[in-house]
């Protein structure tokens, strides 16, 4: 099968982007993921409760939902979750 190429073809890979970017370390991703996960768990604990409540009905999911609710209560008491909920309510 004969190949044919146009002027502008050749898949544009992310190579061209990467050429002008600096590669990092997988360890950096671990730190970023960790910080994101902890921040979301603290500030958006309400989202976790909502998610666990939407899981299919099963004993371990019920257990998970209870733990998430307890965690959310603590985060509300400490402040960040309540502050985020107020922002959300203001949005309407």
Q: What does the binding site for another protein look like in residue numbers (CB under 8 A)? A: 1-4, 6, 8-9, 11-15, 17-18, 20-37, 39-40, 43-44, 47-48, 51, 84, 87-88, 91
Minimum distance from residue 66 beta carbon to another protein (Å) = 17
Report which of 28, 53, 49 is spatially closest to residue 40, judged by C-alpha positions: 49
**CB nearer to another protein: pick between 31 and 74:** 31
Q: Are 55 and 69 in contact (CB under 8 A)?
A: no
Minimum distance from residue 59 beta carbon to another protein (Å) = 19
Cβ burial, residue 61 (10 Å; 0-12/13-18/19+): middle
């Amino acid at each position: 099968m004969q190949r044919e190429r146009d002027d502008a073809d050749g898949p544009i890979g992310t190579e061209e982007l990467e050429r002008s970017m600096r590669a990092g370390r997988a360890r950096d991703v671990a730190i970023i993921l960790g910080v994101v996960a902890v921040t979301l768990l603290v500030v958006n604990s309400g989202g976790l409760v909502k998610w666990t409540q939407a899981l299919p009905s099963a004993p371990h999911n019920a257990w998970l939902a209870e733990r998430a609710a307890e965690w959310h209560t603590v985060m509300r008491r400490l402040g960040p979750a309540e502050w985020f909920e107020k922002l959300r309510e203001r949005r309407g």
